[in-house]
Amino acid sequence: MLEKKTLSNELVKLIPMIKEDYEWVYAAASDPKIWEQHPDTRRYSPIGFTKYFQKLIATDIPYLIIDQKTEQVIGATSFYQFNEEEKSTAIGYSFLKTEYWGGEYNKSIKKLMMDFAFEQVDKVIFHVRKGNLRSQAALSKIGATEEFEYPAEDGTGDQVQYCIRKEDYQ
C-alpha cells in the first residue's frame, strides 16, 4: 500500500482527504461543465456529488487538490486499486475546476502522483469512459497508452484502460 502523505510541487498540494472535506470538494465540483462527459452528468448536484464523494473517500488515498498560489481547493483525485502482486496502482476519480483545464495543472498533478507511485509500483493505470474525450486527450498528453476496452460495471457503456509503465515513464 502506498503511504498516505501530502504531495506538493510549485503549482499544487495534494492533501489526503477526510470525510469532513465534503463541503470543500463540493464547492469545487459544483460546475455542471465538469461532468458533461461523465455518465453521471448530475455530479454537480448535491445528490449526484454525494454518490461520487462516497466512492472517492473509499479509495486507497483520496486527495484534495489545492492551488499553491490561492490556497483554494481546485479539485480531487485519488490512488485506488493498489495491487501488491502486480506492483500497480490506479489514479482516478479526478476532476479539476474548469479554469484549470488545458494548462499545466493536470500534467503537474499526474507527474507528482506518478513520481510518488513509481517509488513502489511498476505500472500506473487510468480508467476512463469511452466517451470522455477530454480525459483521453489529457492522458495522451502525459504519455499514457490505451491497453483495452471493457464494459463498465454499472452498465452505462464502455470504459478504456490506459497505463504508463515505470520503464516508459520520463
Phi/psi of residue 78, nearest 5 degrees: -165, 160
Query: Could you state, in order of their start, the residue ranges of all structural domains in the chain?
Result: 7-122
Mean pLDDT of 19-26: 96
Q: What's the distance, CA 44 to chain centroid?
A: 16
Return d(Cα 106, Cα 40) in angstroms, integer.
22
- pLDDT, tens digit, 9 for 90 and up, residues 77-126: 999 999 999 999 999 999 999 999 988 999 999 999 999 999 999 999 99
Where are the extended beta strands (E) located within the chain? Answer: 7-8, 12-16, 61-67, 73-83, 88-96, 123-129, 145-151, 158-165
Q: For residue 134, is pLDDT > 90?
A: no
Q: For residue 144, is pLDDT > 90?
A: yes
Confidence of residue 62 (pLDDT cuts 50, 70, 90): very high
Looking at every residue in the chain, the average pLDDT score rounds to 92
- Amino acid at the residue 32: P
- Domain 7-122 classification at class level: alpha beta
Would the pTM of this model clear 0.85, i.e. be above it?
A: yes
